[in-house]
Structure 1
Amino acid sequence: MRPPKGSKAANGKLGGSAKKGSKGKKNKERGGSSGGSGAGGGGGVQPSAPAVWRPGQDGVDEGEALQYDPTAYDCLHRLTLDWPCLSFDVLPDELGAPRSAFPHSLLLAAGTQAATAGGNSLTLLKLSNLTQGRHGSRAMREDSDEESSSSDEDDDAPPVMHSRALAHVGGVNRLRAMPQRPGVLAAWADTGAVQVFDAVAQLADLAAAPDERAARGKPLRQAPRQAHAHAAEGFALDWSRVVAGRLASGDCAGAIHVWEPTDKGGWLVGGAHQ
């Protein structure tokens, strides 16, 4: 399986940007004049302002290093799964919105890209106790006396990850959760099949898991509620936000199939639209 041009598989870690700095050499000047005393000030060299490094667009010169800037993030945590994931989706929850107070908690669903077709899964994740740490505004005032000791103690507690998994045959090209019922997951496989799984019970169990201990469940083998084979592999997949249960899947041959929900809990997959 090869992802479409321009896409890149995640490696199971959440990262971010860094600002570009120099190592062993002077920063370039800002502006044109490099010496002499002008009418408005001294003649010293002005260091260049830090800039965000853009992967694929900015290079790294010899002697330069990337410097991590904690003020660039309001919150930053990293997690690792057993296999990389090309696609994930953030699941709606019942914790209220909008939420701005730390620590945060959220639900995710991800599809793996395992070394063997039988080693893949659709993984449900509950991430809790996501503190701000020394990031964002806290990084800028970390030396301030205004920070309370209780807040520091909260940040010392590690984040917690719980997971539940459904076995999936083939690497997952795209994964989408139904907005109206997040436990219903649609997955595009690199085998050319689109499948819909009912993970409502697993999601409810995961959401109720206590935050005090981390846990990883073994992949559950469960038959999909619906499956449809395209003539070619694909990546396009999304649920309708207007009609609950309506799904569209598109393949690399240009064919788009619309899935209409039925009264019996299944789907009627229409003919290909080009």
Structure 2
Amino acid sequence: MSDNEDNDEMMMEEFEPDQDEMEEENQNVHKQEGEKYECDLSAYTLFHEGSTGAPCLSFDILRDKLGDNRDCETPVSCYFVAGTQAARTHVNNIIVMKMGNLKKISEGDEDEDDEDEEEDEDGDPVISSAMVKHNGCVNRIRSTVINNVSIAASWSELGVVHIWDLSQMLGAVDENSQQHVLEEAPIFSFRGHRTEGFAVDWAPSMPGTLATGDCDRNIHIWKPAEGASWSVDSRPYTAHQASVEDIQWSPNEPHVFASCSVDRSIRIWDCRANPSKACMISVANAHESDVNVIHWNRNEPFIVSGGDDGKVQVWDLRQIQNSSPVAVLKHHEAPVTTVEWHPSDASVLATGGEDHQILQWDLAVERDTDEQNQDEESDVPEQLLFIHRGQHEVKELHWHPQVPGLIISTAHSGFNIFKTISC
């Protein structure tokens, strides 16, 4: 097979509600008499799916110029950047994708026949993509905007972190709906990590500042320099005792970031201090096993974590030193691989895991005393709003920052783009 044949081609399929498929893959959680939970075909406002030639197990949504607070009454467009994990190291890519004409599910979708579908040729989703070669599988990729330029950092399985200017790729996907293969190199690369890693995050309140963590427990802080370059502190932050799995900068406090690790701990750091003294707070044994992911609430002083123990735990930063979560959400049946708070609703979050589920939660939900007594034997947490199924081993999900309630998720089986009536 030639290299061209290994290039990842994105193919979108418009979702068509089917009763049997929906019952098997996607379940809306509505409390019914006798604690029955049934599929509701009206549970989705929008649902589309797509796949790539090689799986993209990490991605990030790119902010666009189409406006904030967009609804799904008119067709939705969205942009994101992803990285492939191909079987052969030399055929991996960074891919920028634009998905357009993503229409909401209408009441008549169930009754459309084949003839109607053929006549509605302009009703299909439109996908355009642009890709550049990436040396090694992309462990994780995260984007930011610096001086109105979209930038992405990619963690390579070869132990190198690359920085990419996405301008050319974004320009290509806006030209037409074709697949574009571009010749482009990263604008900066850091080879100071001694091994590969997964943890990477851009500081939202300090443009261009980046933190990266590796499997050898080291964290490095990057600061922007002149001429599309970065100054990376060679002194690592090393308080963790095992692989650093995720990093999250505070959305409100400059210089402060959190990390989690295979050593089961969550740590809070202040990068203004000497690396040997920068760890301000350490929560030992935060989970029963590896802590895989964390996410910082943008609106309230909370962090959510997910671990190999299948638990989702919420930590109040005002009392995190007590080493006790303020909420423990248990409904995943396998390791939790992704957690993310809703961008604007401080009590809502979404989680996903290797049990092929994405769950939507609302911590503000409380049952009254009588209802709680009736539900003592229920194994469905009261805060659980929605169960979305159908993807194999969910790896990442992100709420769209400009389309409230819209989630994009990726798994070994491809991408899902959906909005439920719950959020």
TM-score by length of 1: 0.67
C-alpha contact (below 8 Å) 1:193/1:228 kept by paired residues: yes
The amino acid that maps onto 1:50 is Y
RMSD: 2.9
Question: Any residues of structure 2 matched to 1:80-159 within 5 Å, and which?
Answer: 80-100=51-71, 101-134=73-106, 138=107, 157-159=123-125
TM-superposed CA distance for 1:232, in Å, is 1.6
C-alpha contact (below 8 Å) 2:12/2:127 kept by paired residues: no
Q: Distance in 2 between matches of 1:184 and 1:235?
A: 18
Structure 1 SS opposite 2:172? helix
Structure 2 partner of 1:249: 212
Please state if 1:183 is matched with 2:146: no
The amino acid that maps onto 1:93 is D
Structure 2 SS opposite 1:204? helix
Structure 2 partner of 1:45: none
Please state if 1:231 is matched with 2:194: yes
Map Cα deviations across residues 167-194 of structure 1 (whole Å, 9 max, x no partner).
Answer: 1010000001114446311100111110
C-alpha contact (below 8 Å) 2:172/2:180 kept by paired residues: no
Map Cα deviations across residues 13-61 of structure 1 (whole Å, 9 max, x no partner).
Answer: 89995239xxxxxxxx965xxxxxxxxxxxxxxxx6224xxxxxxxxxx
Q: Distance in 1 between matches of 2:122 and 2:42?
A: 19
Structure 1 partner of 2:183: 221
TM-superposed CA distance for 1:164, in Å, is 0.3
C-alpha contact (below 8 Å) 2:12/2:126 kept by paired residues: no
Structure 2 SS opposite 1:110? strand
Pairs aligned (count): 206
The 1:215–1:94 alpha-carbon spacing in structure 2 relative to 1, beyond 3 Å, is: same
Structure 2 partner of 1:174: 140
TM-superposed CA distance for 1:198, in Å, is 1.5
TM-score by length of 2: 0.44
Q: Distance in 2 between matches of 1:242 and 1:168?
A: 29
**Higher strand fraction: Structure 1 or Structure 2?**
2
Q: Distance in 2 between matches of 1:182 and 1:12?
A: 27
TM-superposed CA distance for 1:200, in Å, is 1.2
Q: Which runs of 5+ in 2 are unaligned?
A: 1-9, 16-21, 112-118, 239-423
Please state if 1:268 is matched with 2:276: no
Map Cα deviations across residues 82-125 of structure 1 (whole Å, 9 max, x no partner).
Answer: 11011010100000011003200010111000111111000000
| Runs of 4+ that moved beyond 3 A | 11-17, 153-156, 179-182
C-alpha contact (below 8 Å) 1:188/1:194 kept by paired residues: yes
C-alpha contact (below 8 Å) 2:139/2:198 kept by paired residues: yes
The amino acid that maps onto 1:79 is G
Structure 2 partner of 1:194: 161
